Structure 1
Amino acid sequence: MKIIQITLIWLLFISSLNNSSAKQPAITINGTLKGTSILKNSSLTINLYADYIPSALAEFKNSQNCLIDSLGKFSITLNPSAELVYISFSLQIPGQQPVNDLTSSFLVKPFLFSAGDVVNMDLNMKSAKIHFSGKGAAKLNCQALISSVSLPAGITDRVMQLHNQSAHIPAYQLLHESLENLLVLKAGILNSYKDSLAADQYQLIETDMAAEQRFKYLKSLSISYTVSTKVKKNAISTFFNDYLLKSTQLPITSDETLLKSAFALNLAYQMEWLTLNFKYEGQKITLQQIFDHIVTKYKSPIRDRLLLICLLTLAKKEPAEVFKYAAIALKTMDHSKEKDLLINWTTKHTAGSKVYNFTLLDENGKTVRLTDFKDSILLIDFWFLGCKGCTQMPKALEGIMERYKHKKDVKFISLNVDRSRSSWMKGLESGLYHSKGQINLNTGTMGTDHPLIRYYNYNSYPQLLIIGRNQELISSNPIDPRIDQGAEIKSLIDKAI
């Protein structure tokens, strides 16, 4: 029987107020994926975290594999470390974008599971429906139905009409009010399941339901602001300050529930960031401003989680400042879990620390290890097929490669992160993603779930990593050479030589 590999990565968080070491009952999921044409050579991905923090922070993710047969059936048993866990699903089709909550309304991100759940999951890709049966199925079907509720076409059409008429504030008001009314409909679905859900399950689903919707709306406003005309930017700013600032609040619940929630504190951080952004419109918001704002407004443990989110979110943009404020945060934090997570992160990313001992594949399928580059300085460029920014990196690296072309101990690696070898080969054949003189490597079938990528929390591309001749970290996040013409990278390599 033909076997198709499926990677299941599950999202797991441990409540800050529930640190019991008692072993939890296992979760069993028996699944059927329907739609054979889609299943061919595909993988199902689910993301696992030791503690729930923003899902983009990939270094806290672990993976687990299971097999799916030619009939689309699979079975997996998970061993949660907490009573309540989050599990999300994403179908990866080689050469295509993942089918997940971003592209499909029926794949919820994430589902709230309970330890001891034993469920059957029917995932129909053609009808775009998902259904659960078995122990614990009620709360899962509740979440699936809630996620299926969407705005009617008439609302979205009218919003577009208003924008086309430059009536931007009325457009934002209509969309926001319609989304809030949508929460009433979702609450009705949740309430109909009340007798089937434990109190903590009900409270978390209710919190996530409101927080997720509001977070995504604020995120879309933030993105829209960065690419809009001056007139539209003014409209977004006015709408936020005069309307959203008063009406968008965290769900009213306990700190314990907020800390457990998949979305609540992401919403809080996004709200605080936008508050400062529109307060000091036209000025760059500094890490010190958002850091001080959080410290002044919140108390532990919510403050400590928000500081962690803040620092790790801004790590790529302002690495030097993040390390500076991480030291301050560690003195400020009272909550041990957040302190441990921050210490773990800073240890990995501090210059001079040992680099993750990676194993990769070359074009011939031969295994290549970090130890194969002993006594060499490495500049690794991470990319994937279809990444527009990744096609700009080879040109940006030209001057750097030219500078060290006679230095045999300075090596340049082009590291592709596509799961599919065909996608990697297609990228190489195009000549857009790499340069002559680079060593071409790939992360294999693990793709972006490769331990090296998770270790350094790489979740956007292109990305660069510089490693010293003693296999110590020089920089996990140097300044993009498209910004400074490679000045910082040259300085770092010169010092290492």
Structure 2
Amino acid sequence: MKILLTIISFFAVFNIVHSQSNKKLNNDLRSYFKVVLNENIVEDSVLLIYQDNQWGDVNGIPKSVVKNKVGRNLIITFKKDDPFIYGNLTLGEGNYIFSKNIIEPGDSIIFTVQKGKIEIDGIGKEKYQFASEVKCQFETLDQKWADSLSQVSKGSNDFTEINVNTMKKDLIDKRQINEEKKQLVLDLLEKYKPRLSAKIYDILKLDYLIQLDVEYLQLFNTDIGYVVFKKQENVDSSYMILDKIYNDYYKDQNINTSENFARSRSVTEFHSEKLRNHKFQNKVSFNSLNVVRYIINNYSGILRDRLLTIYLIRKKINSNNDYLAATDALKCIKTPYCRTLLENLKGNSTPGSKAFEFSLVDSLGKTVKQSDFKGKVVLLDFFFTGCGGCKILNNQMTDIVNYYSNNSNIQFISVNVDKDMEKWKNSLRTLEYTHKGSVDLFTNGLGSNAEIIRHYNIVGYPTLILIDKEGKIISTKPPRPYDEKHKSELIQLINSAL
């Protein structure tokens, strides 16, 4: 009897320990967030938006959205091998509590929103507190930067010496502000270092210091792009002036192939921006195939794979050259999640691939599908209310719509990505974004998370997609009819499919 009781007791204890062990394992693969309001704020919902595999809020890469009421838990379940992710936490649709923050498995954080400040507490709070402090102090320095900017507009149609001098001053000012910011980051990192893991300390250091180099490089590339655009004969002398300022500041980051280095959100962005800079430095015109081959020849490992992926996702596959570039990239990419993203991109947007079988509602609530238009050429036009470029494109499309007004073999379809249905319906009445006779569809308030948007990797508006009578893609970037030449090209492309 005593032996039996001992055996029963052993299994009871074993089951409890085993159960607790499993519970701990499950919790270790999750993160919990709760937002508490200590003041009268209208918003009652909280959204946590993130991307797997350390992508730092990159357009065109699938995002996951977790939504709940204020005061309730938001829960993220991590993939087994994901050491951390980047995420955005917002109150309602756009009031950021944090942006592009590192989130680790096991984090359990409470954000208490009070007037003028946010208190952060819980397991793993240190990296969120660090980010919050950096944000507050950066805002002060950014105001200093804004106050120092010259009021001379770069938008003048005349290219003058004062424009180059303004750019020169901007670069010098930016350099000074960045040096202050870098020292601020290092000081705060030193403060938090005892409470951060070595891995997270290294990632935070990369994220924040290299992000400042990204911003500086973006400013330089924008200025040089402006010089090139405005007046070709001034490029060399103007470039030399700006390039000296740039080289005085810029110290090339060594290409490190470690996983920590490659996983940093800022590192990928930095080297993506370097590709633009390389184009200006060498005064060459990069097509997609050349860019892909340059990345393959100059980078390796995870960083190479992530650079190839992010470049092609942003570029999209709109031509045979793009298709060949994606094919070359896939030959050398070893990272599984990068391969999956590019294979999906190649399969979903390549001319001749099957169009997405959407199922959306029109303004009367009727469900409309892609297959409903078999036997017709379809031109999809994606827009949102308030989009200035979408209004302009709609005006430019008027002649095209009128040209085919008596042709029943083509259907113009608008697809709206607004959050609010009434807002969309009101926009239809104005005819600012669509035409009479168009089939007008709504993504049910899902916006960028709608399946059709994710399938076609739509990251900007307006976007046109042309589909043939068999429901296959002709082009995910057909000509926009902003002048007679492009109007003729679009008509020719449509006619070839009729």
Question: Could you tell me the TM-score, scaled by structure 2's length?
Answer: 0.81
- 1:274 maps onto 2:264 in alignment: no
Judge conservation of contact 2:214–2:266 (CA < 8 Å) in 1.
yes
Partner of 2:197: 198
Deviation at 1:135, TM superposition (A): 0.9
- 1:28 maps onto 2:32 in alignment: yes
Partner of 2:260: 257
Q: 1:142 aligns with which of 123, 130, 141?
A: 130
Distance in 2 separating the partners of 1:385 and 1:234: 42
Residue type of the partner of 1:183?
A: K
SS at match of 2:331: helix
The 5 A counterparts of 1:67-466 are: 67-68=68-69, 72-81=70-79, 82-91=82-91, 98-100=94-96, 107-124=97-114, 127=116, 129-150=117-138, 151=141, 153-160=143-150, 167-168=165-166, 169-227=168-226, 230=231, 237-238=239-240, 241-245=243-247, 247-250=250-253, 255-280=258-283, 284-315=285-316, 319-466=319-466
Judge conservation of contact 2:47–2:68 (CA < 8 Å) in 1.
no
Output one character per residue of 1:282-305: Cα deviation in whole Å (capped at 9) or x when no partner.
Answer: x64433443343233223332232
Output one character per residue of 1:135-182: Cα deviation in whole Å (capped at 9) or x when no partner.
Answer: 111111112212222216444323326989763324311221221221
Structure exhibiting the larger radius of gyration computed from Cα positions: 2
Deviation at 1:362, TM superposition (A): 1.5
- 1:495 maps onto 2:492 in alignment: no
Deviation at 1:472, TM superposition (A): 2.7
Output one character per residue of 1:39-97: Cα deviation in whole Å (capped at 9) or x when no partner.
Answer: 27xx6544332434463433x324344332xxx4332211011121111134555xxxx
Pair 443,293 (structure 1): closer, same or farther in 2 beyond 3 Å: same
Deviation at 1:410, TM superposition (A): 1.7
Distance in 2 separating the partners of 1:454 and 1:240: 39
Distance in 2 separating the partners of 1:268 and 1:249: 10
- Number of positions where the alignment pairs a residue of Structure 1 with one of Structure 2: 455
Distance in 2 separating the partners of 1:319 and 1:382: 20
Distance in 1 separating the partners of 2:257 and 2:131: 21
Residue type of the partner of 1:31?
A: V
SS at match of 1:74: coil
Partner of 2:17: none
Judge conservation of contact 1:396–1:485 (CA < 8 Å) in 2.
no
Pair 257,186 (structure 1): closer, same or farther in 2 beyond 3 Å: same
Judge conservation of contact 1:54–1:266 (CA < 8 Å) in 2.
no
Distance in 1 separating the partners of 2:176 and 2:153: 16
Residue type of the partner of 1:200?
A: K
Partner of 2:8: none
Output one character per residue of 1:95-143: Cα deviation in whole Å (capped at 9) or x when no partner.
Answer: xxx445xxxxxx443010110111112345x52x433211111111112
Output one character per residue of 1:215-260: Cα deviation in whole Å (capped at 9) or x when no partner.
Answer: 2332244345545655997787335532434624337865211221
Residue type of the partner of 2:49?
A: N
Moved more, 190-199 or 154-163: 154-163
Pair 401,155 (structure 1): closer, same or farther in 2 beyond 3 Å: closer
SS at match of 2:459: coil
Residue type of the partner of 1:290?
A: V
Distance in 1 separating the partners of 2:469 and 2:374: 6
Distance in 2 separating the partners of 1:236 and 1:148: 36
Output one character per residue of 1:300-354: Cα deviation in whole Å (capped at 9) or x when no partner.
Answer: 33223222222222227x6442212112222343444433332221011122322
SS at match of 1:354: coil
Distance in 2 separating the partners of 1:175 and 1:261: 23
Residue type of the partner of 2:43?
A: L
Pair 331,252 (structure 1): closer, same or farther in 2 beyond 3 Å: closer
Residue type of the partner of 2:408?
A: K
SS at match of 2:301: coil
Distance in 2 separating the partners of 1:409 and 1:35: 58
Distance in 2 separating the partners of 1:411 and 1:377: 6
Distance in 2 separating the partners of 1:446 and 1:277: 39
Pair 321,109 (structure 1): closer, same or farther in 2 beyond 3 Å: farther
SS at match of 1:89: strand
Higher relative contact order (CA 8 A, sep 6+): 1
Structure with more helix by fraction? 2
Distance in 1 separating the partners of 2:237 and 2:147: 19
SS at match of 1:29: strand
Pair 360,118 (structure 1): closer, same or farther in 2 beyond 3 Å: same
- 1:66 maps onto 2:67 in alignment: yes
Q: 2:50 aligns with which of 44, 48, 58?
A: 48
Distance in 2 separating the partners of 1:335 and 1:245: 34
Residue type of the partner of 2:367?
A: T
SS at match of 1:78: strand
Distance in 2 separating the partners of 1:394 and 1:171: 37
Distance in 1 separating the partners of 2:37 and 2:486: 48
Aligned structure 1 segments of 4 or more residues deviating by more than 6 angstroms: 161-165, 231-236
Judge conservation of contact 1:159–1:175 (CA < 8 Å) in 2.
no
Partner of 2:486: 485
Moved more, 344-353 or 193-202: 344-353
Question: Could you tell me the TM-score, scaled by structure 1's length?
Answer: 0.82
Pair 367,245 (structure 1): closer, same or farther in 2 beyond 3 Å: farther
Distance in 1 separating the partners of 2:354 and 2:128: 42
Distance in 2 separating the partners of 1:379 and 1:294: 35
Deviation at 1:28, TM superposition (A): 1.1
SS at match of 1:88: strand
Residue type of the partner of 1:355?
A: A
Moved more, 411-420 or 218-227: 218-227
Moved more, 359-368 or 208-217: 359-368
Percent identity, please: 22
Output one character per residue of 1:387-446: Cα deviation in whole Å (capped at 9) or x when no partner.
Answer: 111001222222332333233232111111110123213322332111111111111221
Judge conservation of contact 2:51–2:87 (CA < 8 Å) in 1.
no
Residue type of the partner of 2:195?
A: S
Judge conservation of contact 1:245–1:275 (CA < 8 Å) in 2.
no
Pair 153,86 (structure 1): closer, same or farther in 2 beyond 3 Å: closer
Pair 25,332 (structure 1): closer, same or farther in 2 beyond 3 Å: closer
Distance in 2 separating the partners of 1:33 and 1:236: 53
Pair 410,54 (structure 1): closer, same or farther in 2 beyond 3 Å: farther
